[in-house]
Structure 1
Amino acid sequence: MTQQQLAESVGIKFQQIQKYETGANRVSASRLWDIAGAMDVDVSFFFDGLERADAAAPSAAGDLLGDKEALDLVRSYYSIPENQRRRLFELARVLSDVA
């Protein structure tokens, strides 16, 4: 699905989708719900791989969100074209399994 197709399905401009992808704008819960519906996935799809809040260390999520390097990495990651981003993600997953 292209950014344009997703934007049309959700009823917004594709530039807004780009801003969500790059991290320039935050995605509200209601918009995330709309995007999940347009993509025909459950909202939990966007949180795949994250630990449940009650299972994680109390400060783990807060520490990550407060880490400028981690936020820069996420923004850079989402600025990569989707097909290359998927390959990079798979590489990172393989490397983390080896470690």
Structure 2
Amino acid sequence: MSDIPQFTSHYIDQHIGAQLRAFRKLRGLSQQQLGQVLGVTFQQIQKYESGSNRLSSGKLYILHQVLDVPLIDFFEGLEKKDQQKTELAIETAELVQCYRDISSYEKRRIILSLLKAMV
């Protein structure tokens, strides 16, 4: 069991939570009002919206009905985020390989300093 990664806040949960917040605000509902519909506290709605707590499929289905939003809209844009993560991983691997291929310690330190300054 220790080999299974544990996620406290996954980017998918954060994305769905951000979508929930946007849809709730578009409908002019407070977190308290939405919580009453779902039978949870406004604090729980805050946790859903931040992505720190996951929405169950049942609650997500209720939200789609209450907010009058197609279910797929909660996932809108995830493909783009997945693509960006893949591109970043490839770029990172290329960068690391190039860095490793530099034989000069001094040149590596200069490049590292430059990268840190850019960030």
Q: In which range does the TM-score fall when normalised by the shorter chain?
A: 0.3 to 0.5
Scaled by the length of structure 1, the TM-score of the pair is 0.47
Over alpha carbons, which structure has the higher Rg? 2
Scaled by the length of structure 2, the TM-score of the pair is 0.40
